[in-house]
Structure 1
Amino acid sequence: MNHTDDEVEPLSSGSEADAEAAAREIVLRQLTVRARSRHELATALAKREVAPEVARRVLDRMEEVGLVDDATFAEDWVRSRQQRRHLSSRALQQELRRKGIDPEQVTEALEGVEPDDEHAAALALAEKKMRTMSGLEPQVRRRRLAGALVRRGFSSNLVGRVLDEVEPDQESYGSLG
């Protein structure tokens, strides 16, 4: 059965067992694509009009067998997104909250992010962006780099430090105005 999420029909008829089987199938299909938070899976089930009590039972069972684990999801998400997307802790926190991760689990997942990790992510992003900006005036390049770093959630102190590292001969961040 090769349905996209939008092609799955609502679960409004049939027996309770059929409804649970269909809900399990939706969840497993979602998890085949990528790991998801319980909230994301609950949203997918609600979108398919799965009865709330059926959704809760299916998701509880998925947690029992270890297929749904928000704490592990959050830790893996932080590690992956910081390495590949060069995101700050602040941006990661916002993403996890949007995914419905409990604030305590968000805090625990972000505890593993050291200041050096955040610096490395900001520096990697700045160096990547620098390669595409070689033809720009130094002030324009610096301003665009600063904007890219700030949009990823890095603090102004870290942005200034990274800019001084990638372009040490230019004006300091504070004078960009």
Structure 2
Amino acid sequence: MRRSRESNPPPAPRSPQEERDALLAYAFRALGGRALTEAELRGKLEKRSADPALVQEVLARVQELGYQDDAHVARAEGGRHTVGRFRVRQTLKRRGVSEALIQQTVEARDPDQEAQTAQALLERRWPALARKRDPRASAYAFLARRGFAGDAIWAAIREVSAAAGAAADVPDDAAWIDEDG
């Protein structure tokens, strides 16, 4: 049997304490899915509550308890080894991390390790890329999309194409590529 809407009374308004508890519980559920930055969590909380003071109170409480920390999110993103420093910077900026923390995270990355990672990624993908019309251009685009710098990309292309027996027709001086990739 179908109930009419008139038979269901509207929910009783919540007290301020119940509203706070509900918003705090939502914050914990949101943080349980993945680590969120302060900006991301604030956005989620603002969608649930129209009271900015309550949102700030809940945000401060989860930070006080150690459940939300932008530095932790930045370290985790900076520790990703399948992307370059430019992708790390872009991701952290999009997620609302402060510029100072982004800069600190990017500077903590080892350029030599990044070059080795780019080479390892390219070695895995080289068989498929070598079948393309211009394998080096495809390889460059592949690594650039992952956020690696031009110098690391060209070094990886030289190494991998030479190891594969391809003529390394890559310019020795890739100075025409700016430092930003």
Distance 1:127 1:20 in 2: 53
Q: Which residue of 2 aligns with 1:102?
A: 98
Deviation string 1:46-80 (CA, Å, 9 cap, x unpaired) is: 2223421111101101111111111122112211x
Matches within 5 A, 1:85-164: 86-133=82-129, 136-137=131-132, 140-164=134-158
Which structure has more helix as a fraction of its residues? 1
**155, 168, 172: which one aligns with 1:171:** 168
Distance 1:170 1:158 in 2: 19
User: Percent of aligned pairs with the same residue?
Assistant: 26
CA contact (8 A) 1:160 1:172 kept: no
Relative distance call for 1:43 and 1:51 in structure 2 (3 A) is same
Deviation string 1:90-149 (CA, Å, 9 cap, x unpaired) is: 110110011111111112222220111211221122122224345x15x52222111111
AA at the equivalent of 1:70: D
AA at the equivalent of 1:110: V
The 10-residue stretch of structure 1 (46-55 or 70-79) with the greater mean CA deviation from structure 2? 46-55
Relative distance call for 1:23 and 1:131 in structure 2 (3 A) is farther
Q: Which residue of 1 aligns with 2:177?
A: none
What's the TM-score, normalizing by structure 1? Answer: 0.80
**Structure 1: runs of 5+ lacking an equivalent:** 1-12
Q: Segments of 4+ in structure 1 off by > 6 A? A: none
Shift of 1:27: 1.1
C-alpha RMSD of the superposition:
1.9
Q: Which residue of 2 aligns with 1:7?
A: none
Q: Which residue of 1 aligns with 2:175?
A: none
Shift of 1:44: 0.9
What's the TM-score, normalizing by structure 2? Answer: 0.78
Is structure 2 residue 26 aligned with structure 1 residue 30?
A: no
Deviation string 1:1-35 (CA, Å, 9 cap, x unpaired) is: xxxxxxxxxxxx52221221111111111111111
